Structure 1
Amino acid sequence: MNRPSVRATLGSLLLCSTLSSNAAVDDSYRFEVLLDDRPIGEHRFEIDRSGDQQQVASEAEFKVDFLFFTAYRYQHQSQEVFRNGCLQRIRARTNDNGTRYRIDGAARDDGFRIDRGEQVETAQGCIKTFAYWDPSILDQRRLLNPQTGELEPVVVRRQGTERIELDGRRIPASRYRLETGELSIDLWYHDELGWVRLASDTGKGATLIYRRI
């Protein structure tokens, strides 16, 4: 399998972190994003829930500097609405180092309609995004990529339990590996705190890390 470039990997991983559906009212999540040990930006999430409906806002912004110039810049914003864990609407806008993406989707009687700008697709069944914080995605066989609008097949395998550092303390966390056709992503979950970390090899000798703060 060909490894993706640093640029493609960073963009894909950030966009895939758009939230899903099962958090408390007015929850906020904040992740520091690092390339190896170097901070490059943040990804923030806000979730509002009313009855069986959830509204989710996600915003990511980061840049990778090389010597005296910015080698890569990424911005992503997404608004999603879920009902009973299934995606009802999505509106996502991404600037991937100058390449722009627009995704609009809505549930209809004949399925979930995904508008990618130049292409429209109708998907069947309960649609979920790459919502790493929502453990129910670990049972899915496909997830919606909110940057490209593609439904991607996924395979998830449990890797065991280990201790990781969070806010200066060591906590036990269950580790899972999520694989797509291009990416291999490690995810860590704490029993009470939920999703606490992400790590993936960029394919260029560096590791992308999400660290919850």
Structure 2
Amino acid sequence: MSRRNAFRLPLALAAILALLPLAAPASAAVPPNGRLSFAVFRNGSQVGEHQLTFHKQDGNLAVDINTRIAVKVAFITAYRFEHEGHEVWHGDRLVRLWSKTNDDGTHHVLDAEAANAGLEIHADGHDADAPATIIPASLWNDGILQGGRILNTLDGSRMAIQVADLGPDTVFVKGSKEAAHHYAITGDLQRELWYDSSHVLVRIRFKAKDGSTIEYMPD
């Protein structure tokens, strides 16, 4: 599916959207300039970038997500991760998600859209469904802090998570200290997240499969 087609909403979906309330929570975490940009570090060395852009589309919120990571050892790429995702939100409901991923040679294609009773998911040749209220694991939306089951944005599977509130903290944003709130996600997804006072995501930290520390820092 092309990027253009990923945002083309069919008439049936448009009818469903007309029945959903317009709510604020999903857009509350959108940065004022409509962009989040992170440098990705592995054990303190930059290995990639992670960018999100937000824009209005026909009364909905569209989010473009791009991640590029390459870990080099002795000038040879030992690990590569490339992810392109596109989300469409109607208020606090995810109504369309499309992504393609290259996880070091393992490829995923995901296409999900709102249906009568929830979200219909087509991923890697398999079909599934999820509740209409499910939050994707793209992390920018602090609705993920409700815990429960979230949507894997690579393969469309559902992941069970628990969330711990670790309290107020400070983070460096472009060289300046800023107040933030720190959370830890455990379960099928392991992440530490920081959001600023406006609920905008400002930092991510987790352990990679090889035990290295991965951090997403604002650039």
What TM-score results when the alignment is normalised by the length of structure 2?
0.81
TM-superposition CA deviations, 1:123-153 (whole Å, max 9, x none) = 2231221132222221141111110111111
Moved over 3 A (4+): none
SS of residue matched to 1:154 = strand
Q: CA deviation at 1:57?
A: 0.8
Which residues of structure 2 form unaligned runs of 5+? Answer: 1-24
- 2:130 is aligned, of 109, 120, 123, to 123
Q: Are 1:168 and 2:175 counterparts? A: yes
Alignment of 1:67-146 (within 5 A): 67-146=74-153
What residue number does 1:10 align with?
A: none
What residue number does 1:151 align with?
A: 158
User: Percent of aligned positions with the same letter in both sequences?
Assistant: 25
Query: Residue type matched to 2:144 in 1?
Result: I
Q: Number of residue pairs matched? A: 193
Higher relative contact order (CA 8 A, sep 6+): 1
Quick one: structure 1 residues 24 and 38, their matched pair in 2 at CA, closer, same or farther if it must change by over 3 Å? Answer: closer
> Aligned partners of 2:132, 2:147: CA distance in 1, in Å?
12
> Aligned partners of 1:179, 1:80: CA distance in 2, in Å?
24
Aligned alpha-carbon RMSD (Å):
2.0
Q: CA deviation at 1:193?
A: 6.8
Which residues of structure 1 form unaligned runs of 5+? Answer: 1-19
Q: Are 1:186 and 2:192 counterparts? A: yes
TM-superposition CA deviations, 1:98-132 (whole Å, max 9, x none) = 11101011111142110013210122231221132
What residue number does 2:42 align with?
A: 35
Query: Residue type matched to 1:112 in 2?
Result: L
What TM-score results when the alignment is normalised by the length of structure 1?
0.83
What residue number does 2:15 align with?
A: none
